[in-house]
Structure 1
Amino acid sequence: MNTSNEWTREVLEGYIFIYVANVDFKESYEERQLISDKIDAETSAKLHREFAKDNDYESITKIQDAISRLGYTDDEKEQLIEDVKKLLTADGEYDAAEQSVYMALKRIIT
Structure 2
Amino acid sequence: MKLNLLFVPHYMKTMDWTRDELVAYILLFAAHSDFKEDNRERDVIISKVDMNTFQDIHDEFDGDNDYQGIQKILTSLRQHNYDKDDVSLLLADIKTLFFSDGEFNINERNMLKSLERLFKSL
TM normalised by structure 2 equals 0.82
- Paired position in structure 2 for 1:86: 96
- Paired position in structure 1 for 2:25: 15
Instruction: Tell me the CA shift for residue 94 of structure 1.
Output: 1.3
Post-superposition Cα deviations, 1:38-76, rounded to whole Å, max 9, x if no partner, equal 111111111111111100111111111111111122111
Q: Number of aligned pairs?
A: 109
TM normalised by structure 1 equals 0.90
- Paired position in structure 2 for 1:48: 58
Q: How does 1:1-110 map to 2 (within 5 A)?
A: 3=11, 5-110=15-120
RMSD: 1.6
Instruction: Tell me the CA shift for residue 25 of structure 1.
Output: 2.1
CA distance in 2, matches of 1:83, 1:14: 10
Where has structure 1 moved over 6 Å in runs of 4 or more? none
Secondary structure (helix, strand or coil) at the match of 1:6 reads coil
Amino acid at match of 1:94: F
Amino acid at match of 1:18: L
- Asked whether the equivalents of residues 81 and 109 of structure 1 are also in contact (C-alpha less than 8 Å), the reply is no
CA distance in 2, matches of 1:83, 1:45: 19
- Asked whether the equivalents of residues 21 and 53 of structure 2 are also in contact (C-alpha less than 8 Å), the reply is yes
Amino acid at match of 1:20: A
Q: Identity rate of aligned residues, in percent?
A: 36
More helix by share: 1
In the alignment, structure 2 segments of 5+ residues that lack a partner are 1-9
